[in-house]
Structure 1
Amino acid sequence: MTRNVVTIGGSRGAFTVLRDVVAALPAALDAAVFIVLHVGKHKSELPSLLTRWGKLPASYPQHGDVWKPGHIYVAPPDHHMLITADTIHLSHAAKENFSRPAIDPLLRSAAVALGSRVIGVILSGDLDDGAAGLAFVRAFGGRTLIQNPRDAEATSMPKSAMEAAGADLMASPAELGHAIVALLQASGEGEFDPKREKDMQALRSEAATADNPAGSAFEELDSIAARAAITCPECGGAMWQLRDTHPLRFRCHTGHAFSGMTLTAAEDKATEHAMWTAVRAQKEALALARIRAAHAKSDGNRDAYQIELSRIQQCERLLKVLQGAIAE
């Protein structure tokens, strides 16, 4: 077994960490390095910066490129990057954990295709993209390396990865590059969990859904997941809860995927949006009631005036309740 694939994922706070990581990698590194940073659609100069910071060339790959050792491949903006035993695949499929590129697809594809040849690395970031992917790296015999949360600008991503997959090594930013080299040179495989082999079919079904969002994936999803009474926060489609997964994961029939943590964050955001919408509606109702009350008073219509005064009081009470709930 030759360990020769390094997959790295990070988000907020990971940009500066990557400078230390690539600076420590030797020019003769006999491994390919794949990096996903949450950049969304934004143009990034990350490959040129990584080339400048370290001894290895870095670039955005093209779809179908054959990957080779001694090179750093960076997921292009707005594209997932997946790898097979010898090639790189770029995909504009549905977002995972609200991200494209996302970390989970890279780590998941590497684990399935290359097994114990893979090292998975999770850096600083919010929420938990990469945690599920790192769990697959671990399950299929790869090694895991996590930035020490105490040295991370955003601790949620490394903490979630630790909970989901555990770490062969934890390291500070200054130590991460050397830790990667040490894991590449270490003999033996990571711990392989035969019980996770059943996830292979689940992974194939997930990939089929993500790569063919126009097709029907209901039957495939039913075979690996249970329908959930939750709608997708991205597209409003039906959601499935994947069975026997850690961390908890969900997927919709168009291909969007979420961890339980990410989905909860989305629901919290949707709830707050709904409450502010209700506040706006009540403020407008209050303003209209005051206008109607003034109009009724000027017309000498006492009954209409009293109705609008009652409406004003009702709006004020509801506003107080809503604003109090938002403040909690």
Structure 2
Amino acid sequence: MPTGHRHIVVIGTSLGGFAALRTILSAFPEDLHATVLVVMHIGTQRSLLPELLAPHCRLPVKHAEDNEPLTRSVVYIAPPDRHLMVFEGRVRLSTGPKENFARPAVDPLFRSVAVEFGERVIGIVLTGDLDDGAAGIAAVKACGGWVAVQDPSDCVAPSMPSNALRAATADVIAPLDRLGDVIVDAVRQKPSTARQIVMDKTPIELETRIALTGHSSPEDLDTLGERSTLTCPDCGGVIWRVGEAEPLRYRCHTGHAFSNASLNAAQERSVEEALWISVRRLQERAAFALQRAHVAQRRNELHEASEELEQHAKFAALEDSLRRFLQREAVGQ
């Protein structure tokens, strides 16, 4: 197949991703003239994803290995706790900072292939929570690539596809049972000469370097965006808002990166944890005040005992109010 054809397929998924990948890979012919790279959020635990997917795919399915050359008609799966990326035609596995609280994350892979292969890239976002992949799919599209997104109504978890669609205009939105054939057709088609790069690639290249090397500086981040008043939920450092366009994104100088949805989810968890800590502290204050009241009563120090009982009642009431608030919030979710 001529090198001008699309020959890099990148797929990102999370919750519900195993069944989705099984369906899509089963549609690929054994002579698919493309390299397929897959990121699924799997964390740090040992993964059997290639072994589980291989029986459903005519192509070889394997964990990617650092520095191996990309080969057509092979499916590379991101291994645990490594960002899967591409640099100078080779697989690169990075221990760079987590993005959207994930490693492997979808965005680093999508950005790296967008920079290197441009219009020859096919980017796919499948079922998953939050919005990892949204910035990556925007980068693919901005560099001239072709984009397909699983129909959110067809997803176990529609957040990732929905946010991808907000970030970039998809060439195809399709249910899972059609996406495999859609990808095969896109590989066979030559990119349109009408596709243009619609933004400066410099920020994408810089973020790719940060994810690949794990190093960034305040100067790098000043190039990417503006300092904010927010702090990194991973390391506590200052974070920068990256760019002005959707999706809203943030980075700290350590390198951690967050989408709008992932940062919001982290702040919600942090607030809830802080409030439950306050419940515990108030419970302890109430119990301690009651103990002091009992001691004062045994000493016949009635005025002091009365004051301690008032303190006990105050802390117990605050604890009860806060607990009720948290329980109402939990029911509301």
Same fold (TM over 0.5): yes
More displaced 10-residue stretch of structure 1: 100-109 or 171-180 = 171-180
**For 1:21-51, what per-residue CA distance to the aligned partner results, in whole angstroms no more than 9, with x for missing partners?**
1111000000000000000001111112222
Cross-structure match for 1:92: 95
Cross-structure match for 1:110: 113
Q: How big is the shift at 1:216?
A: 5.6
Map 1:161-310 to 2 at 5 A: 161-189=164-192, 192-197=195-200, 200-213=201-214, 217-310=217-310
Please say if residues 5 and 191 of structure 2, whose CA atoms lie closer than 8 Å, have aligned partners that are also in contact. no
Please say if residues 86 and 112 of structure 2, whose CA atoms lie closer than 8 Å, have aligned partners that are also in contact. yes
- Code of the residue aligned with 2:323 in structure 1: it is Q
Cross-structure match for 1:136: 139
**For 1:181-223, what per-residue CA distance to the aligned partner results, in whole angstroms no more than 9, with x for missing partners?**
01112233387454412xx22223323433444x560111112
Instruction: Tell whether 2:32 aligns with 1:29.
Output: yes
- Code of the residue aligned with 2:116 in structure 1: it is A
Distance 1:31 1:165, change over 3 A: same
Query: What TM-score, normalized to structure 2?
Result: 0.94
Q: How big is the shift at 1:86?
A: 1.3
Q: How big is the shift at 1:320?
A: 3.0
Between the aligned partners of 1:140 and 1:206, the Cα distance in structure 2 is: 14
**For 1:149-199, what per-residue CA distance to the aligned partner results, in whole angstroms no more than 9, with x for missing partners?**
1111001011111111121112222111111001112233387454412xx
Please say if residues 108 and 133 of structure 1, whose CA atoms lie closer than 8 Å, have aligned partners that are also in contact. yes
Please say if residues 12 and 153 of structure 1, whose CA atoms lie closer than 8 Å, have aligned partners that are also in contact. yes
**For 1:257-303, what per-residue CA distance to the aligned partner results, in whole angstroms no more than 9, with x for missing partners?**
00111101100110000000000100111111111111111111112
Query: What TM-score, normalized to structure 1?
Result: 0.95
Between the aligned partners of 1:275 and 1:263, the Cα distance in structure 2 is: 18
Between the aligned partners of 2:216 and 2:202, the Cα distance in structure 1 is: 17
Between the aligned partners of 1:314 and 1:82, the Cα distance in structure 2 is: 56
- Code of the residue aligned with 2:306 in structure 1: it is Q
Structure 1 gaps of 5+ residues are none
Give identity over the alignment, percent: 39
Please say if residues 137 and 144 of structure 1, whose CA atoms lie closer than 8 Å, have aligned partners that are also in contact. yes
More displaced 10-residue stretch of structure 1: 261-270 or 238-247 = 238-247
- Code of the residue aligned with 1:28 in structure 2: it is D
Aligned with 2:199: secondary structure? helix
Between the aligned partners of 1:189 and 1:256, the Cα distance in structure 2 is: 36
More displaced 10-residue stretch of structure 1: 185-194 or 29-38 = 185-194
Aligned length: 325
Between the aligned partners of 1:284 and 1:88, the Cα distance in structure 2 is: 54
Please say if residues 81 and 104 of structure 2, whose CA atoms lie closer than 8 Å, have aligned partners that are also in contact. yes
Aligned with 1:16: secondary structure? helix
Instruction: Tell whether 2:19 aligns with 1:19.
Output: no
- Code of the residue aligned with 1:277 in structure 2: it is I
Which of residues 8, 11, 17 is equivalent to 2:11? 8
Cross-structure match for 1:67: 70
Aligned with 2:59: secondary structure? coil
Alignment RMSD (CA, Å)? 1.5
Aligned with 1:36: secondary structure? strand
- Code of the residue aligned with 2:221 in structure 1: it is L
More displaced 10-residue stretch of structure 1: 173-182 or 102-111 = 173-182
Cross-structure match for 1:325: 325
Please say if residues 6 and 33 of structure 1, whose CA atoms lie closer than 8 Å, have aligned partners that are also in contact. yes
Between the aligned partners of 1:293 and 1:278, the Cα distance in structure 2 is: 22
Between the aligned partners of 2:139 and 2:216, the Cα distance in structure 1 is: 26
Cross-structure match for 1:122: 125
Aligned with 1:196: secondary structure? coil
Aligned with 1:119: secondary structure? strand
Between the aligned partners of 2:170 and 2:222, the Cα distance in structure 1 is: 32
Please say if residues 227 and 240 of structure 2, whose CA atoms lie closer than 8 Å, have aligned partners that are also in contact. yes
More displaced 10-residue stretch of structure 1: 27-36 or 300-309 = 300-309
Instruction: Tell whether 2:92 aligns with 1:79.
Output: no
